[in-house]
Amino acid sequence: MDPILLSIDQIDDHNAQRLDALRDEYDSLGRALARRGIDIDTVKARVAGFSLALPTWGAGRGGTRFAKFPIPGEPTNIHEKLQDCGLVQTLGRVTPRVSPHFPWDKVSDYAALREEAAALGLGFDAVNSNTFQDQPGQRHSYRNGSLSATDAGAREQAIAHNVECIEIGRKLGSKALTVWVGDGTNFPGQQDLGASLDRYLASAAEVYSALPDDWRMLLEHKMYEPAFYSSVISDWGSSILAAQTLGPKAQCLVDLGHHAPNVNIEQIVARLHRFGKLGGFHFNDSKYGDDDLDSGSINPHQLFLVFNELVEAELNPRDGFDPAYMIDQSHNVTDPIESMLSSAEAIAGAFAKAVLVDRAELLAAQDANDVMMGFQALRRAYRTDVSPLVAMARIEAGGAADPIALYRLLGWRERTAQERTPVGLGAGIV
Ligand SMILES: [Mn+2]
């Protein structure tokens, strides 16, 4: 971290004021866990080994479909986004990678960008292509779709863009391309539902053929929006069929907000893992749709249940289970840095709770059809307050005891508001 931005001393001073109380709470939790046969330091080591990526677009305020209300000091380019993500990592220590989005994050020198990120303590995770909006000067419009468009020129342009993203990603050290398309229809009769999937698969196969051997292509499904009648890759069924059709390097990516209401997402995780196709996960939370709210803000229990399946998958890996975990949120009401810190802590906490599940007890209850004891095995882990454990892991990794409190003390926004070009008004969802 640039010493001008945040000195080690500032973190040490902040932590010193909180360490006695935290140690007291950590020791108390340690004794409680010991009575359940769990060694707290072992769990802490698991939490310390957990990490996920930040989305570069999560550093901005995004917006609603209707308007954007920027805050002073918001980043307007990849360099400023990296600074903000670097600060999140410095304070929170759970998010050592960023996931860039192109063409939003395009630069002329990617080797320099990689060095710039490394100097901030950041690496690059999956690269994301963008064929859901038109760019200035673009030859073919994505108005009627991209990889699945009826217009061959639009399809070829979308394929070329995805291949370009792979080339950029190679320079950045990425190993995966995440593909989400907004393709679909808003009216019955608008497109042939079978033929549009055929076109998507043919285009996706061309992108797939450009993947390096050690890369993966992550297919992200979404039930609706911007297409409200039918989306081409609408659900996990379409996603896994497409991934199986494409080949072993294609896997599915689950975004918590991309499902019908009340869908059992933890079961989807288990299903995709069963077939070796769970490639990644996008964390956020929602009340109604793809709300992209902070993780654990609406339904923390669901987040825990998802992690219960992810930890299960980790313990029983199939086909080299190595999910690309990423925060995917962007909304209009909080400081994005605070939201990313809040989400990172919630996600690490949900992971920690899932690690606490007594799997032998759970399995025995399931085998005996003891419904209540199976449920209690999960409940006992879920109701454990793991915050001292997560905080201790964070401090030992060099982070802050209370990241949001220290962030506010730094006056970061006030400073960047002086230094950065103001964000323009405008629409929308990102
Ligand atoms: Mn997503």
d(CA 115, CA 65): 35
pLDDT reported for residue 422:
85
pLDDT reported for residue 4:
45
Closest by Cα among 225, 203, 238, 214 to 129? 203
Q: Ligand 1 center to residue 225 CA distance, Å?
A: 12
Q: Ligand 1 center to residue 200 CA distance, Å?
A: 19
Q: Ligand 1 center to residue 367 CA distance, Å?
A: 36
d(CA 220, CA 281): 9
Using the predicted structure, report yes or no on whether residue 406 has a pLDDT greater than 70: yes
d(CA 69, CA 349): 31
Q: Ligand 1 center to residue 128 CA distance, Å?
A: 10
* pTM for this predicted structure: 0.96
Q: Ligand 1 center to residue 25 CA distance, Å?
A: 36
pLDDT reported for residue 67:
79
| Token pair 């915050």 in the structure block, residue | 387
pLDDT tens digits, one per residue of 255-301: 999 999 999 999 999 999 999 999 999 999 999 999 999 999 999 99
Both structure tokens of 334: 């909080």
| Of 168 and 6, the one with more pLDDT | 168
| 424 pLDDT tier (thresholds 50, 70, 90) | confident
Mean pLDDT, rounded, of the chain: 95
Both structure tokens of 215: 């890369």
pLDDT reported for residue 5:
60
Using the predicted structure, report yes or no on whether residue 3 has a pLDDT greater than 80: no
How many other β-carbons are positioned within 10 Å of the β-carbon of residue 145?
27
Mean pLDDT of 62-79: 85
pLDDT tens digits, one per residue of 6-25: 677 899 999 999 999 999 99
Please, how many CA atoms are within 13 Å of residue 301, restricted to the half-sphere of its CB?
7
Q: Ligand 1 center to residue 104 CA distance, Å?
A: 16
How many other β-carbons are positioned within 10 Å of the β-carbon of residue 316?
11
| Of 430 and 365, the one with more pLDDT | 365
pLDDT tens digits, one per residue of 233-266: 999 999 999 999 999 999 999 999 999 999 999 9
Q: Ligand 1 center to residue 282 CA distance, Å?
A: 5
The length of the chain is 430
pLDDT reported for residue 69:
83
| 1 pLDDT tier (thresholds 50, 70, 90) | very low
Q: Ligand 1 center to residue 61 CA distance, Å?
A: 16
Region for residue 288 given its phi and psi (left: phi exceeds 0; alpha: psi -120 to 50; beta: otherwise): alpha
pLDDT tens digits, one per residue of 314-348: 999 887 899 999 999 988 889 999 999 999 999 99
Mean pLDDT of 141-148: 98
pLDDT reported for residue 36:
96
